[in-house]
């Protein structure tokens, strides 16, 4: 678990250490300065043409975001991926989690860069599982135990959702795929579905989402297949037969420069569900790396690579070959040892108890987590060195006082009531709390409290394990900020703008106010970019963003959609006329001269389109934004540097 956490923190640090500057202007050539090619490998768990169509827009999106580099796509089988990695022909990789473990064990990876978020009927899905299918008329196959001796089609033994997740579930009920069943390896999930439909196989093993995608595309008629061992999982939109595992990781291989890794990471986290690339790939973007420990546990249980190394002989092998000799020797040794055992058993028991006490004392003293032992009423009985390091209280300052000494006073009484209720009912509690150091500084803490009882079940004491998660929280907040703000200007991006606009409409409808959406497109920006370079263009965008933001109120929002397009949301207007002064100031701010580095003075102007929302008006955020965009285009077509309303 600690290894997974370390890899996750390293991924966060990669995101925060730096961000790409000077992306190409949307009105210019996206690859005019391309001097590097990155190859993204995609595991072909479905036919290559399907995978090519799904992920080609994502590759184009990454190329556009990187600006000075081009990304190429390679759709490969697992063996082809292994060969390509060995020949250093791949720089980026998306594959299933179990294959990621193998790549990580051989390629010195620090961890996954991100985890893919699947999208199904508007729901975001960060996990995958396996689906066991049969022909709808094969009613004799219902439970997992019915799969023994069946003809089972699989895409391949290295497919997590198409084989390994199923193998783990069947292993739990005593069925070993390949030993207790007849397997047909067909190479892809689509081939497995066809084998079950045609009757070549009695059962098919595929990953979640395949059935829904085939039905949606018209390749499979709904109702022809049934799911074996169906699971009812809350908020999981796919049919599933197994437990769930984290979705595909996005990996940067070691030869990719750290600066390029940071740029790719920012591009991934900036991808919104509405982007055409996300829609084509049927995803809702990318999330921080998930915990892939469940996949490791599955691989260890099934002894899959990279945990497939085994000794040449096990104790079971030795017993099977030499059981008679071992049994005879064992009987003789028992007779001899029995007499000796009576003599030294007591001394051995005493030494064992002493060693155990020394071990427990060593763990208590050297643990990196703070440990606090209290009585039933909360009085502190003992603490370790890590407790002193985290809280600032020495042992003498803490022992004898109530644990309330650490409270920061940030939680409501209901929080502590719930904590004690769970502690009394279950005997343990785990969660995040705000506590206070000796100097008065409040800090977030991960806390686990366990009740210790005697043999009769009577409460004796509580043991608390604590760790300081201040840095973790800071990294988490910075990551969320990066996902919702423009890289260059630090203004809200399209994702955060949509949320602010929806909130503004709700407040305007509730309070009876008007709201204005102002779409701003800079006139002449491309000429500045082409004449003075992207660095000058970036400086101009940052200066104008700051200047226009100063013309708005604290309750208003200014966002950058990309390139030289901005949107302002002005709230709490008594009438549309009340926003005219702000609109005039924005127009003036966009057209005023800007002095760049080295004293260079440039001037652009702005074409503004305005759409108003009135209380009771039935219009959503997307419609308002589209109306403002159309009004802006009228302003631009009528001579620029002017304002047009929608509708006029």
For 199-211, write each residue's pLDDT tens digit. Answer: 999 999 999 999 9
Domain identity same for 581 and 522? yes
Q: Please say if the pLDDT value at position 378 is more than 50.
A: yes
State both tokens at 485: 């703000």
54 and 134 both lie in a single domain: no
pLDDT at 382: 87
Q: Is residue 133 part of a domain?
A: yes
* Domain end among 428, 445, 473: 473
The CATH number for 397's domain is 3.30.450.20
Task: Give the integer Cα–Cα distance in Å for 196 and 150.
Answer: 12
Which domain range does residue 191 map to? 127-242
pLDDT digits (tens, 9 = 90+) for 577-596: 888 999 999 999 999 999 88
| Residue 234 within any structural domain of the chain | yes
Question: Rounded CA gap, 91 and 85, in Å?
Answer: 8
User: What is the spatial distance between Cα 226 and Cα 172, in angstroms, rounded to a whole number?
Assistant: 22
pTM of the model: 0.46
The confidence band for 8, taking pLDDT boundaries of 50, 70 and 90, is: very low
Q: Is 104 helix (H, G, I), strand (E, B) or coil?
A: helix
pLDDT of 110: 67
Domain contains 13: yes
Residues 512 and 622 in one domain: yes
Cis peptide before 487 (omega within 30 of 0): no
What's the number of domains the chain is made of? 4
User: Are 76 and 169 contained in the same domain?
Assistant: no
| Distance, CA of 26 to chain centre | 29
CA atoms within 13 Å, Cβ hemisphere of 562? 14
Residues 411 and 437 in one domain: yes
pLDDT tens digits for range 37-75? 999 999 999 999 999 999 999 999 999 999 899 999 999
CA distance linking residue 558 with residue 494, whole number of Å: 11
Residue with the two structure tokens 């769970």 = 422
**Quick check: is 325 in a domain?**
no
The answer on pLDDT for 217 being more than 80 is yes
Mean pLDDT for 622-631 is 93
586 domain residue, yes or no? yes
What sections of 438-515 are H helices per DSSP?
A: 470-484, 494-511
Of 242, 273, 288, the residue that ends a domain is 242
Taking only the tens place, the pLDDT of each residue in 407-446 is 878 888 888 888 888 888 888 888 888 888 888 888 888 8
Please identify which residue in the block is written with the tokens 């509690």: 429
What DSSP letter does each residue of 2-21 carry, written as one string?
HHHHHHHHHHHHHHHS----
Stretch 490-494: mean pLDDT? 91
Task: State pLDDT tens for residues 328-359.
Answer: 888 888 888 888 888 777 777 777 777 776 77
Percent of the chain scoring above 70 in pLDDT: 92
170/531 Cα distance (integer angstroms): 66
């Amino acid at each position: 678990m600690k290894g997974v956490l370390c890899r996750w923190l390293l991924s966060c640090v990669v995101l925060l250490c730096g961000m790409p500057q000077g992306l190409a202007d949307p009105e210019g050539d996206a690859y005019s300065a391309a001097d590097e090619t990155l190859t993204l490998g995609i595991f072909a768990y479905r036919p290559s043409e399907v995978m090519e169509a799904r992920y080609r827009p994502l590759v184009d999106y990454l190329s556009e975001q990187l600006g000075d580099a081009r990304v190429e796509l390679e759709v490969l089988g697992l063996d082809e991926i292994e060969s390509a990695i060995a020949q250093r022909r791949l720089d980026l990789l998306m594959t299933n989690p179990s294959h990621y473990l193998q790549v990580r064990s051989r390629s010195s990876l620090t961890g996954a860069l991100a985890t893919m978020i699947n999208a199904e009927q508007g729901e975001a899905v960060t996990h995958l599982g396996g689906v066991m299918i049969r022909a709808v008329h094969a009613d004799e196959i219902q439970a997992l135990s019915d799969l023994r001796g069946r003809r089972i089609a699989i895409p391949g033994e290295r497919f997590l959702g198409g084989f390994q997740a199923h193998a783990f579930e069947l292993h739990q009920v005593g069925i070993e795929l390949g030993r207790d069943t007849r397997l047909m390896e067909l190479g892809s999930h689509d081939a497995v579905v066809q084998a079950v439909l045609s009757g070549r196989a009695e059962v098919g093993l595929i990953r979640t989402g395949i059935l829904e995608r085939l039905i949606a595309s018209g390749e499979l008629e709904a109702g022809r297949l049934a799911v074996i061992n169906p699971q009812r999982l809350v908020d999981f939109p796919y049919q599933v037969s197994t437990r769930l595992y984290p979705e595909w990781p996005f990996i940067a291989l070691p030869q990719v420069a750290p600066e390029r890794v940071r740029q790719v990471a920012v591009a991934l986290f900036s991808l919104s569900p509405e982007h055409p690339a996300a829609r084509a790939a049927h995803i809702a973007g990318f999330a921080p790396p998930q915990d892939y420990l469940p996949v490791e546990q599955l691989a260890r249980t099934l002894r899959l690579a990279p945990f497939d190394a085994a000794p040449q002989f096990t104790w079971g092998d030795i017993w099977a070959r030499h059981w008679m000799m071992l049994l005879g020797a064992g009987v003789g040794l028992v007779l001899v040892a029995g007499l000796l055992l009576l003599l030294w058993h007591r001394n051995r028991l005493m030494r064992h108890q002493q060693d155990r006490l020394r071990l427990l004392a060593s763990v208590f003293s050297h643990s990196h987590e703070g440990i606090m032992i209290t009585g039933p009423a909360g009085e502190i009985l003992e603490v370790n060195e890590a407790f002193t390091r985290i809280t600032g209280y020495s042992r003498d300052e803490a022992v004898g006082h109530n644990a309330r000494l650490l409270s920061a006073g940030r939680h409501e009484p209901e929080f502590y009531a719930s904590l004690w209720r769970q502690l009394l009912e279950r005997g343990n509690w785990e969660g995040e709390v705000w506590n206070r150091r000796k100097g008065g500084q409040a800090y977030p803490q991960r806390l686990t409290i366990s009740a210790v009882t005697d043999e009769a079940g009577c409460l004796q004491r509580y043991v608390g394990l604590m760790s300081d998660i201040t840095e973790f929280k800071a990294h988490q907040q910075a990551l969320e900020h990066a996902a919702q703000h423009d890289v260059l200007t630090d203004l809200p991006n399209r994702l955060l703008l949509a949320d602010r606009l929806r909130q503004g409409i709700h407040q305007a409808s509730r309070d009876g106010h008007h709201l204005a959406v102002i779409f701003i497109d800079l006139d002449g920006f491309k000429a500045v970019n082409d004449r003075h370079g992207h660095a000058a263009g970036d400086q101009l965008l940052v200066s104008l963003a700051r200047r226009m933001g100063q013309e708005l109120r604290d309750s208003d929002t200014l966002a950058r959609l990309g390139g030289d397009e901005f949107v302002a949301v002005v709230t709490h207007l008594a009438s549309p006329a009340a926003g005219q002064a702000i609109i005039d100031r924005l127009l003036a701010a966009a057209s005023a001269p800007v002095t760049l580095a080295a004293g260079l003075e440039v001037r652009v102007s702005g074409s503004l389109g305005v759409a108003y929302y009135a209380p009771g008006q039935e219009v959503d955020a997307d419609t308002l934004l589209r109306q403002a965009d159309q009004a802006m285009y009228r302003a631009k077509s009528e001579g620029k540097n002017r304002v047009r309303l929608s509708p006029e």
